[in-house]
Amino acid sequence: MSLNAYQTYQQNSVGTASPGELTLMLYNGCLKFLKQAKAGMEAGQVEEKNLNLQKAQKIIQELMVTLNPDVAVGNQMMQLYDYMNRRLIDANVKNEVAIVEEVEGLVMEFRDTWKQVIQQSRKANYGAGGQA
């Protein structure tokens, strides 16, 4: 019963999240799958590694779909996401943890920056109490 309640909570969280919060959730999900892929690599679990790298790639591809390539920053982010996606393919083929860690570092930077943007936006809209 508690698992069902947790699933309901997760669905409600996604359903009521702002676009900015959804992007933050995507970054966090990508980081989760990258960590699981690294653990699979280190344990020699090829299927686990492959599955989680593919999940991370799907998240990056989803982030790519949300960009506006007509805006300079959107075009630059598209190039970075494309690079990250290609690096994850390399990591999967070459079975290299270092490549996953490289992408993980980029995703962490994007996530942390995005979190700051959300916090600043909330402070501007709701005062000093707005926290992400």
Average pLDDT over residues 109-130: 84
In whole angstroms, give the CA distance from residue 34 to residue 104: 7
Task: With CA atoms as reference, report the closest residue to 60 among 94, 98, 86.
Answer: 86
Asked whether the predicted pLDDT for residue 12 surpasses 70, the reply is no
Task: State the DSSP string of 48-90.
Answer: HHHHHHHHHHHHHHHHHHT--TTSHHHHHHHHHHHHHHHHHHH
Q: Which two tokens stand for residue 87?
A: 């690096």
Per the prediction, the chain carries an average pLDDT of 88
Of 15-24, 95-104, 114-123, the poorest mean pLDDT is in: 15-24
pTM: 0.82
Structural domains in the chain plus CATH codes: 19-126 (1.20.120.340)
The reported pLDDT for the residue numbered 7 is 56
The reported pLDDT for the residue numbered 6 is 47
* Cβ-based neighbour number of residue 74 at 10 Å: 14
Q: Which two tokens stand for residue 11?
A: 């669905």
Positive or negative, the CA dihedral 40, 41, 47, 52 is positive
Report pLDDT digits (tens) over 69-114: 888 999 999 999 999 999 999 999 999 999 999 999 999 999 999 9
In whole angstroms, give the CA distance from residue 39 to residue 107: 18
